[in-house]
């Protein structure tokens, strides 16, 4: 199936449900922002206890609301509309513990990608910043890059650094898409172990990694719209992307269904 077909089918399946999924995305973002603001007000931004609370929430709470959007698109892909906004079951067996582990796997993959990309620049930014930027994400590097760019002697290195960051930014969405596929496999095979989920993902994605990358990169235009709308367009863009990845998953899984069963 051509990549544009996934996007076309995603729009058709979202028809009449786009607002519902956009609301779920909004709740995910709102809960994240409110809890973050609460932690900041309680402990102060950047303090040890703030970082501990934020890390705990990231690893054990926030992601469930994103997983609920994944589940909603999976149900819609089967033309099931009843209870598509269910969240409570994800906090229970057999899902919650394994979803926590899958979220951690996603975090580790992102850390690894950033670390590999930043290590060549350790002489420019130092090992401490390499580790700090890898853990806290690319946005944490922005203030330091602005400072470095004001020094003409570092111009070429900063430019190279920015190009590497651009490449990382383009690759990161495939990690999110892979994470989504892992979660979808858990939903479809609730009793499967993490090891089995990872094995199944390897089976169904074999020979399809570049197509998955092509699919997520095909949404770059939509991401520009998100920036132009000050982030508001994200509420409509994200369900579209997630549904497209869900349909991609359904298609490649179908090709390997005998192996999975």
Range of the domain at 65: 3-260
What pLDDT score does 230 carry?
A: 67
Three-state SS at 206: coil
Eight-state DSSP code of residue 192 = -
Residue 25 has pLDDT above 70, yes or no: yes
Give the Cα separation of 87 and 95 in Å (integer). Answer: 11
What is the DSSP-derived secondary structure letter of residue 138? G
CB 89 within 8 A of CB 95: yes
Closest alpha carbon to 173 in 130, 212, 207, 225 = 212
User: 56: which 2 tokens?
Assistant: 């705990």
Alpha helices in the chain (DSSP H): 3-14, 18-43, 48-57, 63-77, 96-118, 122-125, 127-136, 142-149, 155-188, 194-205, 209-217, 220-228, 234-255, 257-260
Q: pLDDT digits over 201-252, tens only? A: 999 999 999 999 999 999 988 877 787 776 788 889 999 999 999 999 999 9
Q: What's the domain count of the chain?
A: 1
258 pLDDT higher than 60: no
Quickly list DSSP for 36-77: HHHHHHHH-TT-HHHHHHHHHHIIIIIHHHHHHHHHHHHHHH
Q: What digits encode the pLDDT tens for the residues 108-156?
A: 999 999 899 888 888 777 888 888 888 777 777 777 777 777 777 667 7
pTM for the full predicted model: 0.90
């Amino acid at each position: 199936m051509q990549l544009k077909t996934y996007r076309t089918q995603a729009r058709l399946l979202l028809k009449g449900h786009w607002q519902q999924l956009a609301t779920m995305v909004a709740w995910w973002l709102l809960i994240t922002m409110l809890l973050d603001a609460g932690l900041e007000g309680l402990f102060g931004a950047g303090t040890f206890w703030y970082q501990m609370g934020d890390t705990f929430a990231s690893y054990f709470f926030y992601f469930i609301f994103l997983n609920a959007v994944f589940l909603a698109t999976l149900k819609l892909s089967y033309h099931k509309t009843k209870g598509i906004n269910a969240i409570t079951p994800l906090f229970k067996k057999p899902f919650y513990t394994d979803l926590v582990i899958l979220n951690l796997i996603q975090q580790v993959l992102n850390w690894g990608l950033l670390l590999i990309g930043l290590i060549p620049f350790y002489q420019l930014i130092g090992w401490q910043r390499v580790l700090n930027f890898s853990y806290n994400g690319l946005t944490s590097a922005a203030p330091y890059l602005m400072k470095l760019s004001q020094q003409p002697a570092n111009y070429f290195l900063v430019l190279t650094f920015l190009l590497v960051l651009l490449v990382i930014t383009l690759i990161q969405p495939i990690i999110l898409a892979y994470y989504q596929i892992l979660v979808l496999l858990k939903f479809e095979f609730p009793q499967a172990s993490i090891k089995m989920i990872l094995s199944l993902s390897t089976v169904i994605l074999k020979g399809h990694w570049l197509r998955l990358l092509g699919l997520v990169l095909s949404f770059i235009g939509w991401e520009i719209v998100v920036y132009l709308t000050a982030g508001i367009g994200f509420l409509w863009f994200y369900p579209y992307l997630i549904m497209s990845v869900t349909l991609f998953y359904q298609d490649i899984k179908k090709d390997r269904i005998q192996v999975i069963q």
